Chains A and B, each alone.
Chain A
């Protein structure tokens, strides 16, 4: 596609529920990143996928967070047993070469009530 697509754009969920956030990267981009942005804060790195290599999960804040990337393309970020502190905008980015010139999606705004 022309850009990085994320869905849904907004998600409101009850505390304790599981949520899945989807990212469609730019076709042909081998690197895919998930970041989180809390209100008024900078971007917090969560996880990185590069081709067939093992993902870098060093930024995931707890074992309630997981992500997968199927077929080297679409990625899903799953948050289990959501908490109010998980409320944030979750941003996906892709890169052709795994270096820093990312293209970001518009994000998913998650609100846990």
Chain B
């Protein structure tokens, strides 16, 4: 699995867009980029994923660079409830056949009133 690098923390003003970057320069051609978030004391929550095209759903948008070596998760109008640790992960089949996601330490996003 490709290793991901994220800033340890970010602040965002409430109501503004939160742009969370992730580097995954060793991503292979068949690996997807996944984003999850984890609110304190809860399990991680799936947000969005993509291969090479930009994706949007009701929670967020995902922008993947053309070379696929980095991506940005965009929360268009951050609210206080978006305060969480955000994990970027690249997923692919392991040698044993399982589809594994490797999670780093993520970015702690603090939404400020």
Which residue of the partner chain, among A58, A102, A103, A107, contacts B101 with CB atoms under 8 Å?
A102
Which residue of the partner chain, among A40, A43, A58, A98, contacts B99 with CB atoms under 8 Å?
A98
* A100 in contact with B91 (CB, 8 Å): yes
Residue of A nearest to B33 (CB): A100
Q: Indicate whether A45 sits within 8 Å of B46 (C-beta atoms), given known contacts A56-B97, A58-B94, A100-B91.
A: no
How would residues 74 to 109 of chain B score, 1 for a CB under 8 Å from any chain A CB and 0 otherwise? Answer: 000000000000010101001111111111111000
Residue of A nearest to B31 (CB): A100
B45 within 8 A of A: yes
* A50 in contact with B42 (CB, 8 Å): no
* A106 in contact with B100 (CB, 8 Å): no
Which residue of the partner chain, among B49, B87, B99, contacts A42 with CB atoms under 8 Å?
B87
Which residue of the partner chain, among B43, B91, B97, B106, contacts A105 with CB atoms under 8 Å?
B43
Residues of A near B49 (CB, < 8 A) are: 100-101
**Complex Cα–Cα for A25 and B43 (A):** 13
A4 within 8 A of B: yes
Residues of B near A31 (CB, < 8 A) are: 99
Q: Which residues of A line the B interface, CB within 8 A?
A: 4, 31, 33, 35, 40-43, 45, 48, 50, 53, 56, 58, 91, 93, 95, 98-107
**A-B residue pairs, 5 tightest by C-beta:** A104-B43, A48-B98, A56-B98, A100-B91, A43-B103
